[in-house]
Amino acid sequence: MDASGGQRDCYHCGEPLPAAPVRAPAGAGWQAFCCTGCAAAAAWIADADLDGYYRLRSAAAARVGAEPLDLSFWDREEVLAEHSRAVPGGREIVVLTDGMRCAACAWLIDRALMRDDARLDSSANAVTGRIRIAWDPARAPLSRLLRTLATLGYRPYLPSSRAHEQARLAERKRWLIRLGIAGLGAMQAMMLAEALYLDFDSTMPAATRDFFRWLTFLLSTPVVFYAGWPFLSGAWRELRQRHVGMDTLIAGSTLLAYVASVVETIRGGPHVWYDAAVMFVFLLLAARMLEQRARNIATAQVDALARARPAFATRERDGGIETVPVSALAVDDTVRVASGEAVPADGVLLEGEADLEEALLTGESHPVRKRAGNALYAGTVCRERPARLRVTGTGAATRLSQLAQLVEQAQAHRPPLARMADRIGHRFVAALLLSSLGVYGFWQFHDPSRAFEVTLAWLVISCPCALSLSVPAALATAHGALARIGVLATRPLALDTLARATDVVFDKTGTLTGDALALRQLETFGGFDRAMALRIAAALERDSRHPAAAAFAGFDDGAPAQDARSVPGHGIEGTIDGVRWRLGRGEFAGGPAGGEGLWLGRDGTAAVARFELAEQLRPQAAGMLARLRAQGLSVHLCSGDALAPVQRLGHQLGIDAIRARQTPEDKLAYVRALQAQGRVVAMIGDGLNDAPVLAGADVSLAMARGASLAQRAADLVMTGDTLMRIPQAVALARRTRRVIGQNLGWALAYNVVALPLAAAGLVTPWVAALGMAASSLTVTLNALRLARREREDAVIA
Amino acid sequence: MNILLLLIPISLMLLGAAVWAFVWAVRKGQFDDLDTPALDVLDDDPPRARDRPLRGPSDAD
């Protein structure tokens, strides 16, 4: 690391640096990068004079990676016809991207597009991960603009569907308008209510008073029924399910205050409480929006289905080919898939061989070789060469859809522990409603004229303003802090359960180990020089994209390998210093047939060396496990691989609880067994084979480069490869839990003090409302500490 | 107190205008992204003059 001046993380994406980092000038002086992609991105940013990005950003960028991206798809007429629309001077399209982490990303995208002369107009939204581009097709194809984005690490995807998109946007706007109406209405209603309250000696003429009351009635009606509609409908739903919850309490007290005020207004009684009703709706609406906002950001970024769906397929029909939407495919159609495209439906490979990248299903980024007759799955990506297949299943019948269903089922059957918090809430609500009846009954008996007012003050005081704010405010802050360390929480209870976790179950491949292989053992025959063997292997593997190449990269001294070619299914051969070498399977390189490991042979006859390769541990795996153990968590390893490598890895990391050769069902059973012992299990994995267990565990975390479906099944998704995020997230979750506890404690203590006073009739509703506001402010400020403490941590780390 | 008969309709009209303006702003997407525009003002220097046209890194390598 000396070479990079003590720098340990990539300058661009913040991921740990590999053993041989890429060095390039950026910012002030030379910087180290994890891959050529990140270096190119930083160089582009410097070249475009957009260095401001590094100052402005509040979250690290996404790893760019070195894999080239085929963007020609975006220039196809069918795609443009379906997904873009004509605007004056050109066309406009909305694309989805996965790398936007903070507002600075949106800023960078906007500026980067601005440098292209074909761009007419663009806007990027970091909240939804959407980029709107208007461009002039006469000047440049869309792919040129998108290539700029891709080189910066923002891969474009087609949004799932325009209708879905519109619905989501409309929903968000409806909520905003509700909040606005509630805020403005509450302000006006409060103003008039203050005038009524300040009339201490009842000197106001009855006519003016009634005029004010009717005005307040007019103002609060839309607030209660339009802005407060989510609570009213929620309460109705809860009542129908005989399941009393927060919404019932909120709607109950709002309606009580409102209806009672209307009755008093008509009757000309001494008091109205419109202000309590409207303030209540406004504050709770704001709290609910705060909480949802943070989660929506996370889910928008993990919009996995959008990434999984190829939009068009090329079908053979009557000797010709035609492009049809995927939905038009039927069983027994013959479909062509160009290299770099996703397979549109499940099918059988018709002829030859094909390399399919099944990352979506398995999380494994290395292509799998398929032969004629083998099954191909929808959503996998065809590499190197085109393929022809006969469709066997479409739409809901594809393996992809079935797995998605499995995930949804597993999610629906979460262990009951996860709903504990919910249940406690219900008891509280039920107790509160019952005791309010008691208070009313007592005052009815004691002093009927004040019974109603006292009950209302009692409800307003108890009413969980602070109580209901205490959790959302803490969660919103925590979600923000979590996103800054690179973990997105997509489900409401994820943080709470993570804080309570007692056991962590790891999947092996892709989680604790990386994709690249490392040399574990080298054996030479006939006194062949070991360094020489490594040098030759490195030269042969140099340009292959096989995972084994990484194992030899460190030994490469630049010796040229002439006419190196790969023999599919066997290995690589090439000429070095006039000698023909073969590297690959035993029989191919001149070793024994079926011999284990990777063999190197001269002229394909005499084997001179044998390499044993093993998966490489991720850089921070050991440190992460140590911290998790320090946090009191027991660690388990559950892998689908053979026993020997899993045991070796477990031994290396000091993990005793090891399970090898596990099918997804086995893993789920293992987790269920742990849960049956009363443990709270956190599962960390990346493949689709992990998806059911990710969904079935109490809380689950999916890796950044894992299968999209696994991310969809998980409660938390990591945005980068840094494993240290896991213990950080656990620590943050525990701190959040503590803050929530403090907030609840404060809110309850406030209630305990104030409720007897209210029950005794010493508090008027407006004093209750004031106390409530002060109490709410306290819990909100306490929740904000989560963000501050997080920053201190970052400085220490 | 007759002044109230003037002031209250005015305040109601202002409220109506505020609600209309808010709904208009939401519909126009003014609240869609609250973070990015805040950054725009922080770094708004015109780009330096350059002696060669900007090229994508993909063209360069």
The residue of chain B nearest to residue A185, with distances taken between CA atoms, is B15
Write the residue in A49, A173, A219 that is nearest to B26 by C-beta.
A173
Q: What is the pLDDT of residues B17-28, one digit of tens each?
A: 999 999 999 988
| pLDDT score, position A705 | 64
Q: What is the pLDDT of residues A555-602, one digit of tens each?
A: 777 677 777 776 666 778 888 877 888 888 777 777 776 666 788 888
| pLDDT score, position A152 | 84
| Residue A67 backbone dihedrals phi, psi, to 5 degrees | -70, 130
Which residues of chain B neighbour A52 with C-beta distances below 8 Å?
A: 42-43
Q: Which of A33, A54, A114, A123 to mutate to test the interface with B (most CBs of B within 10 A)?
A: A123
Three-state SS sequence of A278-308: HHHHHHHHHHHHHHHHHHHHHHHHCCHHHHH
> Would the pLDDT of B58 be above 80?
no
Q: What is the pLDDT of residues A181-214, one digit of tens each?
A: 999 998 888 888 878 777 766 777 888 888 889 9
Hey, are the CB atoms on B33 and A126 less than 8 Å from each other? Answer: yes
Sign of CA dihedral A744, A746, A751, A753: positive
Same domain, A259 and A129: no
Choose among A99, A294, A126: nearest CA to A720.
A99
> Would the pLDDT of A419 be above 50?
no
Per DSSP, helices labelled H in A363-514 are 399-412, 420-446, 448-462, 465-485, 494-500
Hey, are the CB atoms on A107 and B43 less than 8 Å from each other? Answer: yes
Same domain, A174 and A277: yes
| pLDDT score, position A706 | 61
CA distance A72 to A146: 10
pLDDT, chain A, mean: 77
| pLDDT score, position A568 | 61
| pLDDT score, position A416 | 43
Hey, are the CB atoms on B33 and A106 less than 8 Å from each other? Answer: yes
The count of structural domains within chain A is 7
CA distance A531 to A517: 19
Q: What is the pLDDT of residues A508-529, one digit of tens each?
A: 766 787 766 777 778 888 778 8
**Does a structural domain hold residue A150?**
yes
The shortest C-alpha distance from B23 to chain A (Å) reads 6
**CATH number, domain containing residue A627:** 3.40.50.1000
Task: Give B48 or A284, the one with higher predicted confidence.
Answer: A284
Same domain, A588 and A686: no
Hey, are the CB atoms on A107 and B26 less than 8 Å from each other? Answer: no
The residue of chain B nearest to residue A56, with distances taken between CA atoms, is B39
CA distance A184 to A425: 30
Confidence band of A605 (pLDDT split at 50, 70, 90): confident
**CB neighbour list of residue A94: distance below 8 Å, 6 or more residues apart:** A83, A130, A131, A132, A133, A159, A165
Size of the A and B interface in Cβ pairs below 8 Å: 87
Q: What is the mean pLDDT of residues A730-746?
A: 85
**Does a structural domain hold residue A633?**
yes
Task: Give A42 or A763, the one with higher predicted confidence.
Answer: A42
- What is the Cα A463 distance to its own chain's centre? 33
Three-state SS sequence of A341-380: CECCCEEEECCCEEEEECHHHHCCCCCEEEECCCEECCCC
Same domain, A452 and A506: no
Same domain, A632 and A506: yes
Q: Which long-range contacts (CB under 8 A, 24 or more apart) does A258-261 make?
A: A258/A220, A258/A224, A260/A452, A260/A456, A261/A213, A261/A216, A261/A217, A261/A220
Q: Which of B58, B59, B61 to mutate to test the interface with A (most CBs of A within 10 A)?
A: B58
A539-A541-A547 Cα angle (round to 5): 150
The residue of chain A nearest to residue B13, with distances taken between CA atoms, is A188
**Does a structural domain hold residue A133?**
yes
**CB neighbour list of residue A148: distance below 8 Å, 6 or more residues apart:** A44, A112, A113, A115, A116, B56
Amino acid present at A481: A
- The strand order across the sheet containing A387-393 reads A320-325, A312-317, A334-337, A387-393, A346-349, A375-376
| Residue A352 backbone dihedrals phi, psi, to 5 degrees | 65, -150
Orientation angle between helical segments A465-485 and A725-759, nearest 10 degrees: 170
Q: Which residue of the set A333, A503, A507, A686 is catalytic?
A: A507
Which residues of chain B neighbour A48 with C-beta distances below 8 Å?
A: 47, 54
Q: Residue A596: count other Cβ atoms within 10 Å of its Cβ.
A: 11
Interface of A with B (CB under 8 A): 36, 40-41, 43-44, 47-49, 52, 55-56, 102-104, 106-107, 110, 115, 123-128, 144, 147-148, 151, 169, 173, 176-177, 180-181, 184-185, 188, 191, 205, 208, 211, 215, 219
Interface of B with A (CB under 8 A): 1, 4, 8, 11-12, 15, 18-19, 22-23, 26-27, 31-36, 38-40, 42-43, 47-48, 50, 54, 56-58, 60-61
CA distance A343 to A365: 16
Q: Average the pLDDT over each of A253-257, A369-373, A558-562 and give the range with the smallest value.
A: A558-562
The shortest C-alpha distance from A146 to chain B (Å) reads 11
- What is the Cα A237 distance to its own chain's centre? 29
Which of A112, A138, A159 is the last residue before a domain boundary? A159
**CATH number, domain containing residue A596:** 3.40.1110.10
Highest mean pLDDT among A258-272, A304-318, A782-796: A258-272
Highest mean pLDDT among A67-71, A323-327, A482-486, B29-33: B29-33
Contact between A504 and A679 (Cβ < 8 Å): no
Highest mean pLDDT among A265-274, A672-681, A759-768: A672-681
| pLDDT score, position A461 | 67
Which residues of chain A neighbour B8 with C-beta distances below 8 Å?
A: 215
What tokens does A66 get? 């070195």
The shortest C-alpha distance from A463 to chain B (Å) reads 28
Same domain, A351 and A387: yes
CA distance A754 to A760: 10
**Does a structural domain hold residue A688?**
yes
Which residues of chain A neighbour B32 with C-beta distances below 8 Å?
A: 125, 127-128, 169
Choose among A354, A614, A398: nearest CA to A508.
A614
A507 is catalytic: yes
Write the residue in A107, A127, A191 that is nearest to B39 by C-beta.
A107
What percentage of chain A reaches a pLDDT higher than 90? 3
Task: Give A662 or A769, the one with higher predicted confidence.
Answer: A662
| pLDDT score, position A569 | 64
The shortest C-alpha distance from A143 to chain B (Å) reads 12
CA distance A414 to A394: 30
Give how far Cα A46 sits from Cα of A12, A24, A51, A61, B38, Å.
12, 11, 5, 15, 22
| pLDDT score, position A579 | 82
A191-A196-A199 Cα angle (round to 5): 125
Same domain, A627 and A494: yes
Q: Which long-range contacts (CB under 8 A, 24 or more apart) does A173-177 make?
A: A173/B26, A173/B27, A175/A289, A175/A292, A176/A289, A176/B26, A176/B31, A177/B22, A177/B23, A177/B26
| Residue A48 backbone dihedrals phi, psi, to 5 degrees | -85, 5
| pLDDT score, position A178 | 93
Task: Give A159 or A241, the one with higher predicted confidence.
Answer: A241
Q: What is the mean pLDDT of residues A370-382?
A: 81
Hey, are the CB atoms on B61 and A147 less than 8 Å from each other? Answer: no
Same domain, A375 and A241: no
| pLDDT score, position B16 | 93
Kindly provide the b/e burial profile for residues A763-781, where b requires at least 16 CB atoms within 10 angstroms of the residue's own CB.
Answer: bbbbbbbebbeebbebbbe
**Does a structural domain hold residue A728?**
no
| pLDDT score, position B30 | 83
The shortest C-alpha distance from A170 to chain B (Å) reads 9
Same domain, A350 and A435: no
> Would the pLDDT of A389 be above 70?
yes
Same domain, A631 and A688: yes
Hey, are the CB atoms on B58 and A188 less than 8 Å from each other? Answer: no
Choose among A397, A377, A395, A396: nearest CA to A387.
A377
| Single pTM value for the model | 0.63
- What is the Cα A44 distance to its own chain's centre? 28
Same domain, A176 and A154: no
A175-A176-A179 Cα angle (round to 5): 90
Residue range of the domain that includes A400 = 309-314+323-407
**CATH number, domain containing residue A223:** 1.20.120
Confidence band of B57 (pLDDT split at 50, 70, 90): very low
Contact between A481 and A786 (Cβ < 8 Å): yes
Beta pairing, strands A699-702 & A681-685? parallel
CA distance A21 to A1: 9
Q: What is the mean pLDDT of residues A255-284?
A: 82
The residue of chain B nearest to residue A192, with distances taken between CA atoms, is B8
Q: What is the pLDDT of residues A62-83, one digit of tens each?
A: 777 766 666 777 787 777 777 7
Contact between A711 and A515 (Cβ < 8 Å): no
What tokens does A788 get? 């501050």
Which residues of chain A neighbour B38 with C-beta distances below 8 Å?
A: 103
Same domain, A625 and A564: no
Tokens 């202000």 identify what position? A275
Confidence band of B52 (pLDDT split at 50, 70, 90): very low
Q: Residue A590: count other Cβ atoms within 10 Å of its Cβ.
A: 17
The residue of chain B nearest to residue A152, with distances taken between CA atoms, is B57
DSSP letters, A42-75, are HHHHHHTT-THHHHH-SSPPPP--S-----GGGG
Contact between A448 and A759 (Cβ < 8 Å): no
Which of A586, A617, A648 is the last residue before a domain boundary? A617
Per DSSP, helices labelled H in A611-662 are 621-630, 643-653
| ipTM of predicted complex | 0.74
Which of A384, A407, A430 is the last residue before a domain boundary? A407
Kindly provide the b/e burial profile for residues A693-717, where b requires at least 16 CB atoms within 10 angstroms of the residue's own CB.
Answer: bbbbbbbbbbbbbbbbbbbbbbbbb
Confidence band of A3 (pLDDT split at 50, 70, 90): very low
**Does a structural domain hold residue A727?**
no
Contact between A638 and A505 (Cβ < 8 Å): yes
| pLDDT score, position B18 | 94
Hey, are the CB atoms on A47 and B54 less than 8 Å from each other? Answer: yes
**CB neighbour list of residue A335: distance below 8 Å, 6 or more residues apart:** A313, A314, A315, A316, A329, A344, A345, A347, A388, A389, A390, A391
DSSP letters, B1-61, are -TTHHHHHHHHHHHHHHHHHHHHHHHHTTTTS-SSHHHHHTTS-PPPPP-SS----HHHH-
